[in-house]
Chain A
Amino acid sequence: MSGIGTFDLLFFGLTTLLVLLGGIGTVAAKNPIRGAMGLLTAIVGIAGMYLQLAAEFLAAIQIIVYAGAVVVLFLFVIMLLGPQATTSAGAAGTKVSRYFGAGVLLVTSVGAMSLLWRTRTEIAALPKLPPGHGTIEGIGRELFTTHIVPFELSGALLLVAVVGAVAVARGKQIDPTSAVKVAVAKKPTKQASGEAEAHTAHAKEAG
């Protein structure tokens, strides 16, 4: 552990503090908006950690996508749910699942720590990273030469995500009364009436 300077240690301490405080804030906050802000804090801390691990591109993505877009998405969800939305604190099984989750976390943490301890000599002897590893050029070289298939698959995944988002969000929007009115008022062609029926059926399901 000779290669770590004071600044690195200080930076690591600060990012760890950010992640821990943000994580605790996320789960402990009564107000869900504050919880989202805690998540934002944790995400910024993780971006700092990526930076320290020479994963510069990942750090930039962490800020752009997670802090910039995903947290905003969470805020939209919180606003859509409204202040009446509460956690199912009193519901049966919540306590069990909570203790179960805490138990799983404890076991995996202890396991990770013991693995770290048993492999400490190998970790100290890891080879130095090649120059340019983790930078945008490095990621580009890796992504477009050896990892083309996962890259293209991620494009397909994004396509599926778009279709899913449109299907979910637009399906919920149909007002049951308006669908019936449209079906009655218009002298419908065969296809249009089929669509209206589908909408009505969907609305019945939803309501």
Chain B
Amino acid sequence: MSSYLPLFLLFLIAAVLAVVLFTLATVLGPKNPTPEKLMPFECGGDSEGSRFVRPSVKFYLTAILFVVFDIEVVLMYPWVVSFKSLGWMGFVTMASFVSLLVVALAYVWKKGALEWEK
């Protein structure tokens, strides 16, 4: 547990640094707002329409597929570390697991979910 002290200190320093920098910027920064400055900037012209543009659902699909294959890779991690002591049994187990996900990959590929334009 205490071997993670450096990691803990890293998190602590990062958090303190972020808070200190933002506080300093808020406290020390000069503030002189004018109506022109407060206007939303859009290449010099007056801005039109809503700020919100709905992103494509493709981003969501890509993100979900990323999560699934991320979990696959994370489960490979303990297998790799104890690969030698597990022997062939471990290899066969992981091979069948990966073959299941190869089916998933083939399905995704066939459906064209990996292609952006379709």
| In contact, B81 and A155 (Cβ under 8 angstroms) | no
Total number of A residues with any Cβ neighbor in B under 8 Å:
48
Q: Given the complex of chains A and B, what is the CA–CA distance between A94 and B67 in angstroms?
A: 32
A184 beta carbon closer than 8 Å to chain B: no
Residues of B within 8 A of A54 (CB): 1
A51 smallest CB distance to B (angstroms): 6
Given contacts A162-B104, A163-B104, A166-B113, contact A77 B60 (CB under 8 A): yes
Return the contact of A169 from the options B64, B86, B96 (Cβ within 8 A): B64
Stretch at the interface among B22-30, B39-47, B71-79: B71-79
| In contact, A65 and B71 (Cβ under 8 angstroms) | yes
B116 beta carbon closer than 8 Å to chain A: no
Chain A residue nearest in CB terms to B90: A144
| In contact, A162 and B81 (Cβ under 8 angstroms) | no
Given contacts A8-B1, A139-B78, contact A83 B52 (CB under 8 A): yes
Residues of A within 8 A of B5 (CB): 7
A177 beta carbon closer than 8 Å to chain B: no
Total number of B residues with any Cβ neighbor in A under 8 Å:
48
B111 beta carbon closer than 8 Å to chain A: yes
- Chain B CB within 10 Å — which of A7, A79, A155 has the most? A155
Residues of B within 8 A of A (CB): 1-2, 4-5, 8, 11, 51-52, 54-55, 57-61, 63-68, 70-72, 74-75, 77-79, 81-82, 85-86, 89-90, 93-94, 96-98, 100-101, 103-104, 107-108, 111, 113
4 additional A-B pairs beyond A141-B86, A155-B72, A158-B104, beta carbons within 8 Å, are A65-B71, A69-B66, A77-B60, A159-B103
Instruction: List 18 A-B pairs, Cβ < 8 Å.
Output: A7-B2, A54-B1, A64-B74, A69-B70, A76-B60, A80-B55, A84-B52, A137-B82, A140-B82, A144-B93, A144-B94, A152-B100, A155-B97, A158-B100, A158-B101, A159-B100, A161-B68, A163-B104
Residues of A within 8 A of B (CB): 7-8, 11, 44, 51-52, 54, 57, 61, 64-65, 68-70, 72-73, 76-77, 79-80, 82-84, 136-137, 139-141, 143-145, 148, 151-152, 154-156, 158-159, 161-163, 165-166, 169-170, 172-173
